[in-house]
């Protein structure tokens, strides 16, 4: 495939590296190259099979809009735009293109989501829940999209409202998420600690491969078991 990577930060650069390792032709655009989606014209996008976005909350909506308009499939790893998710879903479905988004493209994290879904039963049995996430100082959004997803899972499965997520930004921490379930009798802790960004990058590239020939709006946590 010909893959356009939007964003040349640490994760975007690794996405490009992984895509090349998997035999794809890759071009990456930086924020300077593509301010407010200016580079994503019909002529330019015609040269690519799929785009993968790891930019910023300020840039991602411009990129989504441009790709959807030109019916270029797009995988969106950027978070911080989910207030617009219903609008984006309508645009994708109306255009007849394909989009996969995810608060986290690590397969391990998506298995963790399934574990959290099962553990939500504790909340209806006298336990309280707290969520903590720790990331590097460069991360733009807080709480992380992954932490927001964890909170949503717990609330949806239990029917209860949780307190605010605790967010910590320090050093070059890749990403840690901790769910603490506490009762007078005992405490349970669920932890996912990313060792590197490679898991995110591999998941995003595999999602791009899966998206070929498909239309529709997909959440990575729903489709990752189907990845080749």
Q: What is the DSSP letter of 146?
A: H
Cα separation values, 222 from 7, 68, 111, 135, 149, Å = 25, 21, 11, 25, 13
Helix (H) or strand (E) holding 150: helix 145-158
Residues tagged active-site: 135, 139
Q: What is the CA radius of gyration of the chain?
A: 18
Q: Are 71 and 97 in contact (CB under 8 A)?
A: yes
Angle value at C-alpha 134, between 4 and 171, nearest 5 degrees: 80
CA 137 to chain centre: 18
DSSP string for 51-113: EEE---HHHHHHHHHHHHHTT--EEE---S-GGGHHHHHHHHHHHT-EEEE-S---HHHHHHH
d(CA 126, CA 123): 6
Contact in structure between 87 and 61 (CB atoms under 8 Å): no
Q: How many other β-carbons are positioned within 10 Å of the β-carbon of residue 161?
A: 8
**Percentages (nearest 5) of helix, strand, coil residues in the chain:** 45, 20, 35
């Amino acid at each position: 495939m010909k893959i356009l990577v939007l964003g040349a930060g640490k994760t975007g650069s690794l996405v490009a590296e992984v895509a090349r390792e998997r035999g794809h032709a890759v071009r990456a655009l930086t924020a300077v190259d593509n301010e407010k989606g200016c580079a994503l014209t019909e002529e330019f996008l015609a040269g690519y099979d799929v785009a993968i976005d790891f930019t910023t909350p300020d840039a991602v909506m411009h990129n989504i809009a441009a790709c959807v308009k030109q019916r270029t499939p797009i995988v969106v790893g950027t978070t911080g735009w989910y207030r617009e998710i219903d609008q984006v879903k309508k645009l994708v479905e109306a255009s007849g293109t394909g989009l996969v988004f995810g608060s986290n493209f690590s397969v391990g994290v998506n298995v963790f989501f399934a574990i959290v879904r099962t553990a939500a039963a504790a909340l209806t049995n006298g336990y309280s829940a707290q969520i903590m996430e720790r990331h590097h100082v460069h991360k733009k959004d807080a709480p992380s999209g992954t932490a927001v997803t964890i909170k949503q899972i717990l609330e949806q499965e239990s029917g209860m409202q949780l307190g605010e997520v605790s967010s910590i930004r320090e050093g070059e921490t890749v990403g840690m998420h901790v769910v603490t379930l506490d009762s007078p009798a005992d405490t349970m802790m669920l932890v996912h600690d990313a060792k590197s960004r490679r898991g995110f990058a591999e998941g995003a590239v595999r999602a791009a491969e899966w998206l070929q020939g498909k239309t529709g709006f997909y959440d990575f946590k729903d489709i990752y078991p189907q990845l080749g």
